[in-house]
Amino acid sequence: MVISKLKKIIAYFDDLSFKYKTSFLVFIIAGGMICIVILSQISTFTIKQDFDVLFDKRTKSLIKLENIKDTYNVNIQATIKDLENDELTLNQAKDVLLLAQQLINKNWNSYKEELEKKADRFYIISFIKKFFINEENYFENEVLKKNIMRNVDKKMFQIKYDLNYMIENKIDYDYANLNLEINAISIYITSLINYDLSLAINEKRNTQKIFNIIMIFSIISIILVFLFSIILSVYIINNFKTLHNTLEQKVEEKTKELTELNAYLEIKVSKEVAQNRKKDIIMFQQARLASLGEMLNNIAHQWRQPLGSITMIVQSFQTKMLMGKLTDTFVDEKVNDALLLANNMSQTLDDFKNFFSPNKQRSKFLIKDCIEHSIELSKYSLEKQSIQIKFEIKQNVELHTFYNELSHVFLNIISNSKDALCSTINKNDRIIKIIVNKYKHNVVVNLIDNGGGINEEIVPKIFEPYYTTKYKSAGTGIGLYMSKQIIEKHMNGSISYKNIVHKIKPNDNTNFKCSLFTIKIPISNNKEAINE
């Protein structure tokens, strides 16, 4: 009968699909491992509970009872004996007796508090105790224990009263009666200690039974998991063999189909490759045109400000001539300024011609010179709009990078600040502040203007190409994009923006909403800063 049932179970497993067999195997292994882990944790909690009950509730309590007993026998009885033999004065004995009573009261109250605490039992441990073992509680006798503790309380009160009476009256006292009281309370405490010891032994015996039951269940679960895993593994291996044979046949069929398909695809690929080459040529030409258009936009953006400055220089000649104040010194100064601007425009063409070239030449220069050069190029338009430049350099650093490209970045940001200041701030309050410092292995340039900042909603977009808040005639939207490309890709640095509140005017506590651009550039060759 049993053999026939086993055959039916084996046949049932054999008929299951490969998916269900593997799922069942995983379930058996995972379930068995979880069961083993749970049982191991239960055994751990069992040992922990045994330790908590026997040590915290029993052992500590026994120590306190022994301390009470020793205090009565050693401190109080010995002191009374010395007092009776006139080896101590009453005042000396008084301090010892009062201290002994304090220790006794402390230990006794602590012992009572320990008894009131109940050890927390793990739920599964309580379940095992209820259904699997007959917990031995025949040592417990709460009535006896309460009577002993009540007698101890009475004796403690009586001894305390007799000691106080002896100390306060300062006369001969019947020490024999007091010794009898102390001996009596020692007997009661000994009985209480014996009672607690019997409970501890009983609890230890019950805990051992629980631990044995858990170990038996753990061993059984391990054996079952092992057996089921072996049986299911055999069935899965057989399925793999069958599946392997089936797949070999399918692979042979698919190989023939692929061979025919490859022959067809070779012809088709050769045709597509020829067409793609034509497309690549067209795309290459389009890319060159796009790069050329971008370069022209960049040159136009960089030339706009110098052309404006040259226009102002030309107009200044006419104004001076009409006023009769045209001098040789003025002419020489303005001609030099115009030549400087024209030279910069020419240099701009060279810079942008090589902007996308990987073979650009680096040069060594001081960051102060580069920023002052950018300020000089934009001074006419800044003076026209009554914009002040506050340049503060805390540490002048030597860089080994692209001078003109970095100058273009400063020009772009100064130009943006100028546009913001012209549209929002009174002429007397227009300030651009540039602060240069060194932090670790980077030079940090902060450019601040009090133009009111940028709307927080569009801040994430300001470095995108062709994004601008100006009219098309006033801006192309590539200045900050180009600056980001130069700083991050060409100089391995970083550029960021945020709105701040800053007291930008010296000797003035007025707070302005300001824009802050922060540029960090690595210092090549670890050059030391030159303090100014």
Q: What is the pTM of this model?
A: 0.39
Give per-residue pLDDT as tens, 302-324.
677 788 888 888 888 888 888 88
The pLDDT, as a whole number, for residue 371 is 92
Q: Report the alpha-carbon distance of residue 151 to residue 153 in Å, rounded.
A: 5
Q: Which pLDDT value is given to residue 526?
A: 42
Residue 31 burial class via C-beta count within 10 angstroms: exposed 0-12, middle 13-18, buried 19 and up: middle
3-state helix, strand, coil in the chain (%, to 5): 70, 10, 20
Q: What DSSP designation does 395 have?
A: S
DSSP 6-42: HHHHHHHHHHS-HHHHHHHHHHHHHHHHHHHHHHHHH
Q: Name which of 5, 425, 33, 37 is nearest 226 in CA terms.
A: 33
Q: At what angle do helices 403-424 and 328-353 cross, to 10 degrees?
A: 120
> Residue 356 carries which side chain, given as an amino acid letter?
F
Q: What is the pLDDT of residues 214-252, one digit of tens each?
A: 777 777 777 777 777 777 676 667 766 776 777 888 888
Q: Any residues with CB less than 8 A from the CB of 56 and at least 6 apart, and which?
A: 114, 119
Query: 490 by DSSP, 3-state: which?
Result: helix
Structure tokens at 2: 């049993």
Tell me how many degrees the CA angle 45-51-55 measures, rounded to the nearest 5: 155
Q: What is the signed CA dihedral for 519, 481, 374, 379, rounded to 10 degrees?
A: -120
CA–CA–CA angle 377, 379, 380 (5° rounding): 105
- What pLDDT shows up at residue 172? 57
Question: Which CATH code, of 2.60.120.260, 3.30.565.10, 3.10.310.10, 1.10.3470.10, is assigned to 362-532?
Answer: 3.30.565.10
**Rounded Cα distance, 330 and 332, in Å:** 6
> What are the residue ranges in the chain where pLDDT is below 50?
138, 280, 283-284, 287-288, 290-291, 294, 355-359, 471-474, 526-532
**Residue 529's pLDDT is what?**
41
Q: Which pLDDT score is estimated for 442?
A: 92
The ranges assigned to domains in the chain are: 362-532
Can you read off the two tokens belonging to residue 348? 């701009």
